[in-house]
Amino acid sequence: MTEHSAPARPRRPLRALLQAAVVSFALVLGDALAPEAARAVDYPSWEDVLAARSNEASKQGEIARIQNLISGLEAETVAAQALSEQRGAEYETAQIAFDEGVRVSDELDQKAGEAEAEAAASSQRAGSIAAQLARSGGSNLSIALLGGSGGGDADALLYQLGALSKLTEQTSGIYAAAEQSRNSAAAIASQAEVAEAALDGLRIAAEQALAEAAAAQQAVEQMLAEEQSRRVELAAQLDVLVSNRVATEADYQAGVAERARIAAERARAEAEARAAAERERAARGGGGGGGGGGGAGGETGPIITGPGGQGWSSPLPNARVTSEFGNRFHPIDAVWRLHAGIDLVSPGGTCGANVYAASAGTVTFAGSNGGLGNAVTISHGGGRTTVYGHNTSLVVRSGWSVVEGQLIAKAGTTGASTGCHVHFETRLNGTAQNPRQVLGQYGTGF
């Protein structure tokens, strides 16, 4: 995770680069991310099962049907998981394209400003020379041309004429340079407008890719729950047929009971995550202060507020940064591009370490995210989002509300990673910002 400075390297033409990115993501998000047509599955009812028991051929046919449905459930779940991973990879690709668009746009704005400043400076230098010439040499030379005489004066006059010619040539050159800088600034400003227009398309593509990735992950979770409940019900129906026995009330209610169990398990997991977060916050922010004197217990730590009044803290307490925000040579993809966050490791060991929400918000994505591996994205309101990548496992799901300091994942090295760490991003309206600076303004350092 060693940083390198970016060398000068050839760039693709601006318009071709940005238009190609917009077109490619329009195609990806227009077709590949289209909602999948739901496949209607004709599951057997208990009436079908009981009716099949009266005839051996019908019974064997129903057994084969149920066995095929169970196999089909497994295949559909695997396919849904693959689709979710694909959507996550597309989300990462769209985000990288947007980050590159931001870099190009910012770079052009900077160059346009520099060219305009150079043009203004050149014009000012030329004007200063012309004014100085008018105040001194210009008037003396006119007098010499009109009334001067004598050989000595002629030599001085020739010298003045030569100096005037040089100054005029220099001034003209400076004015020409100023004009060239102005033309360059105008051309770059035109390119910047193209980049800005393309950036809007890339931002929309990234936002849509995030929504599609979150929807695909939620579909997987729903399908897993459906598979579990359906599998239990189908297994009960299969057992009745194979055993050739009378169905009981427990058989009838098997699927219903399993669905209730899954819903209760999810509610319990969310409640436990919240309770653990509150305990963690209390342990980290308050606590008894020994030797403090006659107060009624220890005082809680200061609450650092951010946008909307939330507290902000490091997602990996006491972590150190091993790779900074900025342009770098990617250690796995072997390309120069923006490292859109910072990499954090814990001095006590990072693999399996708790990863916490940096601030309160709503989980907008929790799943496979291409090179970021198992990742979580949290929206904090006001356009502010945070991203936590390379986790070994996730504790939260899309749609969950979380508080600052709530456990959201276990750190790991999934995705494009060279070792256990937390890749932590802070973004504003989709644009990556340095987490050091963002959290630093609220009193949280790394």
| CA 172 distance to own-chain centroid | 51
* Rg from Cα positions in the chain: 34
Q: Is residue 228 predicted with pLDDT exceeding 90?
A: no
**Hey, CA dihedral for 196, 197, 200, 205, is it positive or negative?**
negative
Average pLDDT value for residue range 267-277: 72
Instruction: Tell me the three state secondary structure of residue 132.
Output: helix
What distance in Å separates the CA atoms of residue 369 and residue 113, rounded to the nearest whole number? Answer: 37
Contact 368, 88 (CB under 8 A): yes
Which pairing describes strands 384-391 and 422-428: parallel, antiparallel, or unpaired? antiparallel
Query: 């000595």: which residue's tokens?
Result: 152
Which pairing describes strands 384-391 and 326-329: parallel, antiparallel, or unpaired? unpaired
CB contact set of 66 (below 8 Å; sequence gap of 6+): 44, 234, 237, 238, 241
β-sheet bridge partners, residue 345? 320
Q: Is residue 236 predicted with pLDDT exceeding 90?
A: no
Structure tokens at 309: 């009044």
Q: Give the global pTM.
A: 0.63
Window from 163-177, 201-215, 360-374 with minimum mean pLDDT: 163-177
Q: Is residue 239 predicted with pLDDT exceeding 50?
A: yes
Query: 């200063």: which residue's tokens?
Result: 128
Higher-confidence residue of 68 and 252: namely 68
- Confidence band of 421 (pLDDT split at 50, 70, 90): very high
Count of positions (residues) in the chain: 446
Please state the φ and ψ torsions of residue 110, each to the nearest 5 degrees. Answer: -65, -45
Please state the φ and ψ torsions of residue 384, each to the nearest 5 degrees. Answer: -90, 130
Contact 393, 239 (CB under 8 A): no
- Residue 132's pLDDT is what? 67
Give tens-digit pLDDT for 202-211.
888 888 888 8
How wide is the angle at C-alpha 76 spanned by C-alphas 75 and 81, nearest 5°?
100
Q: What is the CB neighbour count within 10 angstroms for residue 240?
A: 22
Structure tokens at 291: 């030797």
Q: Is residue 27 predicted with pLDDT exceeding 50?
A: no
Which pairing describes strands 342-345 and 422-428: parallel, antiparallel, or unpaired? antiparallel
- Confidence band of 2 (pLDDT split at 50, 70, 90): very low
What distance in Å separates the CA atoms of residue 425 and residue 410, rounded to the nearest whole number? Answer: 17
What are the angstrom distances between the C-alpha of 284 and each of 272, 296, 307?
18, 19, 22
Q: Is residue 396 predicted with pLDDT exceeding 70?
A: yes
